[in-house]
Amino acid sequence: MRTALPVVLALCAALSNALATVLQRKAALTVPRSPGLRAGLMLDLLRRPVWLAGMLAVIAAAVCQAAALATGPLTVVQPLFVLELPLTLVAAAVLLHRRLPGRGWLAVGTVVAGLAVALAAASPTGNRTDVPPDRWIPALAVCSGTVVVLALAALRRPEGRARAACLGAATAIGYAMTAALMKSSTHALDERGLLGFLSAWQTYAFAATGVCALFLLENAMQAGPLVASQPALTLGDAAVSLVLGITLYEEAVRAGWWLVPQLCGVALIVAGVVTLARTPLARTLVAQDRQEQRGVVPAGRQEPPPVSGGDQT
């Protein structure tokens, strides 16, 4: 099957991103907090080994994602990143020595089933590689403008779920743009070699949008709970990527009565994500880390053992 390879590569990228999210979040919660978007945040994080480990996972995810986009449609590859949320919570349960309850595992299965139903019903087709400038310009303008609006909206809100959700949604658009540009630049690498890759404007555009998305992600992880930013990130990435795949690369999904199972699949995904957001692990992940960062342990609860050596730096 033609889509087998990009699907496997995309799943590897999603798993690597999930590990990166947990590691980077732990690092982000150990640096000084700020009410604004603080540029010095990146310098602080560079001194945290756990953040560097997270960056290695980011690199692995980028390599897998680039290979997946080079071999498959954007509308197939990017929706698979919906799995990042369940994978992130599973990774958090392992790395934090916690237990994901039975309903959490059921929610993970629900997300997986919903994604399978939605993709099977949509059956994305098409794998165009060349996109004319008259399509890139309005797409990038709309996406960039929306990111700016979301970032400004986040700055007007206090620290918490709303702010994290706004920054998570902005990050999602940034990641979708990065993926769309990356697909074009990997085609240049395949067709014209390294010189073609380095001479393509998409290469520098996806690098720039990727850095901006990473910056927004780090601030989203400090702004509020993981369950506020991560659903906006994963679901938003899939939705925007679907639109970009159709408008830029002329990819197609089945319409007509096929929309019914597609919507059912989306409903299962949303239900699974909402359930995961309500699990005890998801609700306490950030709050407990903040208490431990201040050296406060609630009465009647023993201080948990350290997760890793990097956490104690």
The tens digit of pLDDT for each residue in 148-192 reads 999 999 888 887 788 888 998 999 999 999 999 999 898 888 888
Q: Given this model, what pLDDT does residue 287 score?
A: 42
Lowest mean pLDDT among 122-136, 166-180, 297-311: 297-311
Lowest mean pLDDT among 93-97, 140-144, 173-177, 250-254: 93-97
Distances (CA, A) of 121 to 44, 90, 103, 125, 189: 46, 27, 26, 12, 32
How is residue 154 written in tokens? 């986040």
Query: Which residue(s) pair with 252 in the sheet?
Result: 125
Across the range 43-61, mean pLDDT stands at 79
Of the candidates 183, 181, 186, the one whose C-alpha atom is nearest the C-alpha of residue 196 is 186
Question: Is 237:172 a contact under the CB 8 Å cutoff?
Answer: yes
Lowest mean pLDDT among 29-43, 90-104, 133-147: 29-43
Q: Given this model, what pLDDT does residue 274 score?
A: 78
b (16+ CB within 10 A) / e for 194-211: eeebeebebbebbeebbe
Residue 269: φ, ψ to 5°: -60, -45
Q: Given this model, what pLDDT does residue 209 score?
A: 92
Residue numbers of the domain that contains 24 = 4-312
**pLDDT classification of 43: cutoffs 50, 70, 90:** low
How is residue 253 written in tokens? 């999904």
Lowest mean pLDDT among 42-51, 142-151, 274-283, 293-302: 293-302
Of all helices (H) and strands (E), which one includes residue 78? none
Structural domain count of the chain? 1
Query: Which residue(s) pair with 125 in the sheet?
Result: 252
pLDDT digits (tens, 9 = 90+) for 216-236: 887 887 777 766 777 788 788
Amino acid at site 44: D
Q: Given this model, what pLDDT does residue 288 score?
A: 41
Residue 125: φ, ψ to 5°: -135, 165
Amino acid at site 90: V
**pLDDT classification of 98: cutoffs 50, 70, 90:** confident
Share of the chain above pLDDT 90, in %: 26
Question: Is 170:154 a contact under the CB 8 Å cutoff?
Answer: yes
Q: Given this model, what pLDDT does residue 30 score?
A: 63
Question: Is 102:211 a contact under the CB 8 Å cutoff?
Answer: no
Task: Using a cut of 0.95, tell me whether the model's pTM lies above it.
Answer: no
Lookup result for tokens 């903040």:
290
